[in-house]
Amino acid sequence: MMSGCKDMVVLNSKGPIGRSEAELIYVSFGLMLIVVLPVFVMTFWFAIRYRDSNKKATYKPNWAHSNKIEFVVWTVPIIIIVILSFLTWKSTKELDPYKPIESNVKPLEVDVISLDWNWLFVYPEDSVATLNELVIESGRPVSFRLTSQTVMTSFFIPQLGSQMYAMAGMRTRLNLMADVPGTYMGRNLEYSGNGYHKMNFKVLAKTPEDFKAWLKTAKTTSDTLTMAQYEEISKPKAGHPVKVYASIVPDLFDKVMAPFMDWMNCHEMKMDGCSHEGACECSDKQMDKCHDKTGCECPDMKKDSPEMGKSCHDMDNKKMEDNK
């Protein structure tokens, strides 16, 4: 039965993270079989041995309890649970997706931006990007930064390892590595709307020489990823063709997150003179202070003012009316 699993991509790993996860699945499955197999065996054995026509079977109508059986049915599952708990704790620390993979080679940095319904892969160190196709170097760790332009999605390359959520306004990380060159499939595991079923992409793991050649070719393509171009591909549409961009907008990943971060920074600030709810209703000059994480400030307002609790925007309007 286990040999039939060799074609399952999750168990046919091509990377150290995926391989460790596959081993954990095998071990957990084997431990649980210690409980499951005896149940199936005894089910058939009891049905055959204690059938009505078998006169050789011992008949004990008053039997109701056995200390030996009680000991076995409680002790064995407890031992299995303890072992599984230890394996879970150990693997949780070892396979932490944020934990860098130990290697003598510097990790390849890739920014992943989830769109509706496409994947954008940015190589910030080389200033190139690809749409709906990820190219990596085999034998070299890959450090992913993930975020989403819109809704939450789940980035997953089954043969390489763990999945990781990409969420708007949040930065998550994932570390993977492909041991050997090859073509692997990646997909979105989180339902995200009409085009969800088409959010698949190819992962091309190339040898170091081939990867360098690909980078060199990528930088000579005619397509460039400007903000206007980014806004175009970020519109809801499934199945954009694979595209390589020779140059990209500087700090694109941070620019995608900026609108969400500005909103959160303002609402998380402890305001002097502005209510917490009104933090993002400050004037443009005051909003700059929000962006600088210094907080919005309403001029000429004391903390014990009866106007406390009103937004900066409301206070600015009141001052304009008074000036009239």
pLDDT in the model for residue 192: 87
Domains of the chain: 2-94 (1.10.287), 108-254 (2.60.40.420), 269-323 (no CATH)
Which pLDDT does position 5 carry in this prediction? 54
Contact 116, 198 (CB under 8 A): no
Of 46, 48, 28, residue with least CA distance to 36 = 28
Give average pLDDT by consecutive 10-residue segment, the chain, 324 residues.
60 89 92 92 90 84 88 93 93 91 94 94 95 96 95 94 92 95 93 89 96 94 90 90 92 88 52 42 41 41 42 42 46
pLDDT, residue 180, reads: 94
- Residue 56: the pLDDT is 84
Cβ atoms of 161 and 18 within 8 Å: the answer is: yes
pTM: 0.72
Q: Which pLDDT does position 309 carry in this prediction?
A: 40
For tokens 């900066």, name the residue. 312
Strand order in the sheet with 172-176: 172-176, 142-148, 108-114, 119-123, 128-131, 243-245
pLDDT at 124: 94
Amino acid at 190: E
State yes or no: cis peptide before 117, omega within 30 of 0.
Answer: yes
* Geometric angle at alpha carbon 228, from 227 and 232, rounded to 5°: 110
What is the DSSP pairing of strand 224-225 with strand 247-248?
parallel
Beta-carbon contacts of residue 239 (< 8 Å; ≥ 6 apart):
117, 118, 195, 198
pLDDT of residue 287: 40
What does DSSP assign to residue 250? T
Dihedral over alpha carbons 160, 216, 212, 106 (to 10 degrees): -70
Sequence-ordered strand ranges (E) for the chain = 108-114, 119-123, 128-131, 133-137, 142-148, 153-156, 164-166, 172-176, 182-188, 200-206, 224-225, 243-245, 247-248
Cα 179 to Cα 198: distance, rounded to the nearest angstrom: 27
Whole-number CA gyration radius for the chain: 29
